[in-house]
């Protein structure tokens, strides 16, 4: 029987980092329902995976977040003395997720959530589990990188392509002598060889920046539960679960002498996919339901780039599944519906300014709050308001009461989140302390 969290997650996109406890419950159910299988549900025939000396090899896909120049520090107003010097980075960086086998990338979900697809990895009994969960650091004018993780370890990944027979012979000899990690070797139709080179780094590494270098999550032989074999076994899922709750820290130093640090929280779970007639698939940043195809993988979210909201209804932690966020019966529902008694208190989800307060036939009485940096929240189907246009409000402050106005099937709050004018999945903007209390009906 599905629990409330699982029912909720089947219909609501969930990015990384928000699912600390929700994911653990869903992950356990996913393990139980696949206990009699040798891996997750087969989505489409794939090409044969070459295996060399008991190593299992594969590729992974993540989400793409490009680096971008940061705004320069503003000049002080005329007549105002300069304060203490503040070092502001002239550049920024992000993580580039890349599928080594297919070249696919996946865009980040709402509120910076990133979905990591677990695919081919490389497992050896004496070398550990090279999970195949890869990422690259991207940005301009990066000189050095420092990477660390507080659970498991990291490894360096480099794909060698267009190798001749002579070059391949040298790699084979290096693997035989233990100087190179055993890996899958493949050959193209024109006779050229290619193979990945993987180097375990432990929990941290600092080195010169190489934009072509990839890094992945690694487990030592003592930490892993996986044995060799094709397909994703329950043990291989458990190896991915080892990184549930881990914190990845990345620091980049730039040519102007500045540096920037970002932290990413990891969570594991069954990721829902959409399959196409062509055999291709798209990874979605949300959990799969009982009968939906999935790929087991990781979520990640940047602690610096995410923005968290407070729950907007004082007396209800329920979400209607009959009208979830997204496409419903051919239409689009741009928010979530929170049922509550008539007159229940509606709260501001964050500090902001009331930019609209009005009525229309579809939304009924509605409010729009502007929270800055392009983030807005919408409160609709309200009975009435306690604020008006131009008012500033604080997070958790009463702004109105629940009603059943507009095209409403009963008393509830219709709640939306918009970023730069585009509707987002509202649940992505609540942290795990809020999500842990949610039920669905």
3-class state of residue 371 by DSSP = coil
Residue 70 clears pLDDT 50, i.e. is over it: no
pLDDT digits (tens, 9 = 90+) for 325-339: 776 667 788 999 999
* Structural domains for the chain: 4-302 (no CATH), 318-440 (2.70.70.10)
pLDDT of residue 238: 85
What pLDDT, in 10s, does the model give residues 180-227?
776 667 777 777 787 788 889 999 999 999 998 989 999 999 998 855
**Mean pLDDT, rounded, of the chain:** 75
Question: 413-431 pLDDT, tens per residue?
Answer: 999 999 999 998 888 788 8
Residue 117 pLDDT greater than 80, yes or no: no
Give the global pTM.
0.64
- Are 174 and 140 in contact by the 8 Å Cβ rule? The answer is no
What whole-number percentage of the chain has pLDDT above 90?
A: 35
| Residue 436 pLDDT | 73
Q: Which residue has the higher pLDDT, 160 or 219?
A: 219
Q: What is the pLDDT of residues 278-300, one digit of tens each?
A: 444 444 445 555 556 677 777 78
Neighbour count for residue 107 (Cβ, 10 Å): 11
In eight-state DSSP terms, residue 382 is: E
| 426 vs 14, residue with greater confidence | 426
pLDDT above 70 coverage of the chain, percent: 67
Specify whether the CB–CB gap between 340 and 411 falls below 8 A. yes
Note the pLDDT of residue 257. Answer: 94
């Amino acid at each position: 029987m599905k629990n409330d969290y699982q029912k909720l997650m089947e219909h609501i996109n969930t990015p990384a980092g928000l699912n600390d406890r929700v994911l653990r419950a869903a992950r356990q159910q996913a393990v139980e329902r696949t206990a009699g299988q040798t891996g997750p549900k087969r989505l489409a025939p794939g090409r044969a995976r070459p295996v060399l000396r008991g190593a299992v090899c594969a590729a992974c896909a993540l989400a793409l977040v490009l680096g971008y120049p940061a705004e320069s520090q503003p000049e002080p107003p005329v007549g105002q003395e300069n304060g203490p010097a503040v070092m502001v980075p002239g550049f920024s960086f992000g993580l580039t997720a890349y599928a080594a086998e297919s070249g696919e990338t996946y865009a980040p979900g709402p509120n910076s959530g990133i979905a990591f697809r677990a695919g081919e990895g490389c497992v050896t009994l004496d070398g550990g589990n090279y999970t195949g969960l890869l990422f690259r650091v991207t940005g301009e004018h990066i000189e050095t990188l420092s990477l660390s993780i507080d659970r498991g370890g990291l490894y360096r990944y480099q794909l060698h392509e267009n190798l001749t027979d002579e070059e391949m012979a040298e790699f084979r000899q290096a693997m035989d002598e233990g100087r190179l990690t055993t890996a899958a070797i493949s050959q193209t139709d024109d006779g050229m060889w290619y193979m990945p080179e993987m180097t375990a780094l432990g929990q941290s590494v600092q080195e010169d920046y190489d934009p072509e270098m990839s890094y992945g999550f690694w487990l030592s032989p003592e930490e892993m539960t996986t044995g060799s074999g094709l397909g994703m076994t329950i043990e291989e899922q458990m190896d991915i679960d080892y990184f549930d709750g881990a914190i990845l820290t990345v620091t980049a130093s730039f040519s102007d002498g500045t540096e920037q640090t970002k932290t990413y929280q990891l969570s594991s779970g069954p990721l829902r996919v959409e399959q196409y007639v062509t055999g291709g698939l798209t990874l979605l940043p949300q959990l799969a339901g009982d009968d939906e195809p999935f790929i087991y993988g990781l979520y990640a979210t940047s602690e610096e780039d995410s923005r968290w909201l407070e729950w907007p209804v004082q007396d209800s932690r329920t979400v209607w599944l009959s009208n979830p966020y997204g496409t419903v019966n051919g239409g689009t529902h741009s928010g979530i519906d929170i049922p509550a008694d008539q007159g229940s208190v509606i709260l501001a989800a964050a500090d902001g300014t009331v930019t609209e307060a009005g009525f229309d036939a579809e939304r009924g009485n509605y409010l729009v709050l502007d929270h800055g940096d392009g983030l807005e929240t919408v409160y609709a189907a309200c009975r009435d308001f306690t604020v008006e246009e131009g008012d500033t409000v604080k997070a958790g402050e009463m702004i109105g009461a629940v009603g059943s106005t507009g095209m409403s099937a009963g008393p509830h709050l219709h709640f939306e989140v918009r970023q730069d004018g585009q509707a987002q999945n509202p649940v992505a903007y609540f942290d795990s302390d809020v999500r842990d209390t949610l039920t669905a009906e």
